[in-house]
Structure 1
């Protein structure tokens, strides 16, 4: 098992992007970006969320901050493990997660 706090970034791909888009559902990218920025003091734009949901082309990010993914999932009321399908990831309980 791996503790979530030791993961800095994820090698990103279109499958993960599609899962994230499905998890977001009807929540707007702008609302999601605003919530992550306000609640977690982690600046993110709707353009960046759009890019990670559809990571195609030369300018697409090859990696995504795992912390950002955790924040996005918290806002959506989802589990970050849902993006990856498996394996199980152990989360250490702390006051700042």
Structure 2
């Protein structure tokens, strides 16, 4: 008997470098807002642009934190999320509440 997506989750492990985008929702937006704390959105946008050469605006970060309305993005670049988390001193897995698995190359 098939389980509904509300009672069952299917997980797989992927290398982070092959993920292009993620489905975005208000829960992730709230986590990002908590992670940012008192760091101004403009400063965060500027640091992502300076450190990683990925242009992002204060308005886009605001939309990520409050993804409501018709114009809100339904998907977000995973690399941008990694850069934002790095600037904030976090790993991207903390944004998603996922375990971190590191495999060493032999």
TM-score by length of 2: 0.82
Residue segments in structure 1 that go unaligned for 5+ positions in a row: none
Shift of 1:91: 5.9
CA change 1:92–1:27 in 2 (3 A) is farther
Q: TM-score, normalised by structure 1?
A: 0.89
Partner residue in 1 for 2:89: 77
Q: How many matched pairs?
A: 92
**Rg: which structure is higher?**
2
- Runs (4+) of structure 1 exceeding 2 A deviation are 88-93
Assess if the C-alpha contact under 8 Å between 1:52 and 1:61 holds in 2.
yes
Query: 1:12-51 maps to which residues of 2 (within 5 A)?
Result: 12-51=24-63
CA distance in structure 2 between the partners assigned to 1:25 and 1:61 by the alignment: 22
Q: Distance in 1 between matches of 2:20 and 2:89?
A: 21
Q: Which has the higher contact order (CA 8 A, sep 6+)?
A: 1
Structure 2 unaligned segments of length 5 or more: list them. 1-12
Distance 1:73 1:92 in 2: 21
- Tell me if the contact between 1:4 and 1:90 (Cα under 8 Å) persists in the aligned partners: no
